[in-house]
Amino acid sequence: MKILKIDHIGVAVKSIENGKNFWSDVLGLAFEGDETVAAQKVKTAFFPVGESEVELLETTAPDGPVARFIDKKGEGIQHIAFRVENIETALAELKKKGVRLIDETPRIGAGGAKIAFLHPSATSGVLVELCQR
């Protein structure tokens, strides 16, 4: 399995509209619009930073994963995403190594990327996303 780079860092926010004030207006990162991923009950907005991006995540439903995260921990960093060369190969390798996976097969995330999450119990508490674009 080959990790190419940190693709993005996911930040849970109550409101992308408010979050934009800091990430875009204050820091000057480009806001390139938002996108709703209905299957994950989330609205996302990506802010490019050099080779990586910051992803703001706002829930679209009270029972969505981002809503549950904010209920438990408040706003803040929710996941870190590594870009991999081949996500199927990476998942197969991790499974073989006994890593607990949330997604055994990739699903389609924002921007049409193939994504899969590893379980935080296998990663020192960090929700790790693999993505292939």
Q: Of residues 66, 67, 81, 87, which one binds Zn ion by CB under 5 A?
A: 81
Q: Where are the alpha helices (DSSP H) in 61-120?
A: 65-73, 87-96
Nearer to Zn ion (CB atom), residue 81 or residue 116: 81
Largest pairwise CA distance in the chain: 45
Q: Which stretch binds Zn ion (CB under 5 A): 15-23, 67-75, 88-96, 123-131?
A: 123-131
Instruction: Evaluate whether 28 touches 46 at the Cβ level (below 8 Å).
Output: no
Q: Per-residue string for binding with Zn ion, 31-70, x by CB under 5 A?
A: ------------------------x---------------
Rg (CA), the chain: 15
Burial 9-37 (b: 16+ CB within 10 A, else e): bbbbbeebeebbeebbeeeebebeeeeeb
Q: Which stretch binds Zn ion (CB under 5 A): 19-27, 45-53, 80-88, 94-102?
A: 80-88
Range 9-28, binding Zn ion (CB under 5 A): 10
Give the interface with Zn ion as residue ranges (CB under 5 A). 10, 55, 81, 129
